[in-house]
Amino acid sequence: MFASSADFNRAEALRKELNRHNYLYYVLDAPEIPDAEYDRLFAELVDLEKQYPELITVDSPTQRVGAAPLPEFGEFSHRIPMLSLNNAFTDEEVMAFDRRIRETLDADNVEYNMEPKFDGLAINLVYERGVLIAGATRGDGATGENVTQNLRTVNAIPLRLNIAQPPAYLEVRGEVLMLRKDFEQLNARQREKGEKTFANPRNAAAGSLRQLDSRITAQRKLSFFAYGWGVVDGMELPATHSAMMEQLAGMGFPLTRLRATGRGVEALLQYYRQMGGQRDQLPFDIDGVVYKVNSLAQQNTLGFVSRAPRFAIAHKFPAQEAMTEVLDIDVQVGRTGAITPVARLNPVFVGGVTVTNATLHNEDEVRRKDVHIGDTVVVRRAGDVIPEVVSVVPGKRPANARSFVMPTHCPVCGSHIIKLADEAVARCSGGLYCSAQRKQALIHFASRRAMDIEGLGEKLVDQLVERDMLHTPADIYHLTLNQLANLERMGEKSAQNLLQAIEASKNTTLARFIYALGIRNVGEATAKDLSYHFGTLEGLLEATGEQLMAVPEVGEVIAQSILQFCAEPHNREVIRLLQQAGVHWPAVEKLTAAQSGLSGKTFVLTGTLPGMSRDEAKALIEGQGGKVSGSVSRKTDFVVAGAEAGSKLEKALELGVTVIDQDQLLDLIEQSKQTM
């Protein structure tokens, strides 16, 4: 069975449409249609090609998914060598470059094309009559590896040129790289699978492009930017490099928006400083900038020397990676209790500063990277990012290298260090007592949804801790008017208001108090569940793991967090001091699933309710055992809609979820009370 002319025309129309949307999305970053519509068009083309294989073309978007693995890469000879650039590291070297250019051309000043120097993998793309037929790495400049199958999977690379009359033969040169966000996501997936992570985006891009199985390359998000060309047959070149780049953009090639032109050496140095200032905020890594004489006629006059062009130079930034020795590994305690192994290093100059410490993130990373005390390691520092150890140099490991041993107790407060099953990070369990976590614990304790101490914010907590006036939350209730009035930006009136807020916070609820303790993984909703289930604080503190997991929505991880917190004598002592200071709450009527008509029901609130705030509505629902969620799904039982309800109401109607108003909600709550 063969495709009809209608099938042929439809397949061709789909290819053109999908290629156009790829260009809009990956090159211009200006999509016209939602992802779902693109997926629908793509699926239609897949079905057509599956039914009629003769409709498949080399430029079809369906061919980007990858092909069967290759036994090895073939060689590819570049008709025009892919030359490297000479480097400049100082302003003086750039001035000397400009002087040589002007002297050779006998010109007062020269116009340059300026662009970032991407930290990726240089490639050469070959098009015949507008269709991609080959793609290769730079290799030694004369011969590279044929990685055509892999390059076809890179969405930013056009499979067919977007031009009515393409040149007979065109070589486009550029850089394949991985955006930083895609690099982080790739490494996260690698860690989840227990596989090797990549040291930096460049290594990730190179490793992805050199996969013998192009289906693996297709799963990794690679990007591409064009920066030049090789052989051009059947097309007249314009007068300047920048004009040729614009023509390539018109054919569908992505170009960086950071390109510029300028005259004279001052323009070059200004561009270098500008790019250096933006470097750490860019979505991709660059290791310098490239200057090229803009006039193609002047480029021809200048020619080449050895294996580099005379008309271009790379102005490099200070290195962001360097090698040094690990002198020791100890741990730091973060403000949330996270225990982070830190490598103490032989001082090394990297990223513009001298680095003596580098993070190892967590114990699993130390094991995965196999870092030993005494190792020679590669350290990376990018801008304000904390320096990190990215890899070990195995051949330089000394015979007396020692493994890192994770401590079992917090070096700050002596509490147990714990690591839950679902977390890579180990943590100190002395939350209310540990001075390393003091500020964070106090800010959380005083927050609006916890003890609601109005006026006790981050800046004031900073002052109180730094003046050694607060050690634990219990100390808040012993602050005096004189102490507070003498703080910065605090007069007697402000101090009096804060003391009144502190006094008012003593009268709270058990749920708020549990939440205020800052137990790991115990949020507002869980704190309320615990309050209703146990009824008393003593019941919670003495609960077993089995009893905790009997609480709705409390699983093994949350139960373990609560048990670890309650097991620390320091935490229990702070709780005792808080109650001794007068913190109290009304008795809680224990609520069981069998007692509540709203138990197990999920509500979503949207819009403005006429007679109550959302917090009040939420409290009413949760008081009867119901749950309040922030998003609508098929598991939602009721959407409570007020005035100006928006997308949540639309979603509810789309999914067939029951929509009620405030009066109907109150009726439900009243009925629930009658069933208790």
Catalytic residues: 117
- Cα 218 off chain centre by: 21
Question: Largest alpha-carbon pair distance within the chain?
Answer: 97
Q: Check if the beta carbon of residue 210 is closer than 8 Å to that of residue 147.
A: yes
Query: Is residue 339 helix, strand or coil?
Result: strand
Structure tokens at 305: 């020397």
Cα 314 from Cα 214, distance rounded (Å): 32
Cα 564 from Cα 541, distance rounded (Å): 11
Residue 279: CB atoms within 10 A of its CB come to: 18
Q: Check if the beta carbon of residue 354 is closer than 8 Å to that of residue 325.
A: no
Beta carbons within 8 Å of 461's beta carbon, 6+ residues apart: 439, 442, 443, 446, 470
DSSP-derived letter for residue 150 is: H
Cα 240 from Cα 252, distance rounded (Å): 19
Query: Is residue 583 helix, strand or coil?
Result: coil
Using CB atoms within 10 A of its CB, is residue 161 exposed (0-12), middle (13-18) or buried (19+)? buried
Angle at 611 between CA 608 and CA 616, to 5 degrees: 80
Beta carbons within 8 Å of 178's beta carbon, 6+ residues apart: 120, 186, 201, 202, 204, 205, 208, 220, 221, 222, 223, 284
Query: Is residue 47 helix, strand or coil?
Result: helix
| List of E strands, 405-456 | 417-418, 426-428
Query: Is residue 161 helix, strand or coil?
Result: coil
Structure tokens at 410: 């917090």
Q: Check if the beta carbon of residue 138 is closer than 8 Å to that of residue 144.
A: yes
Residue with tokens 């990676």: 321
Of 580, 433, 589, nearest to 518 by C-alpha is 433
Cα 314 from Cα 307, distance rounded (Å): 14
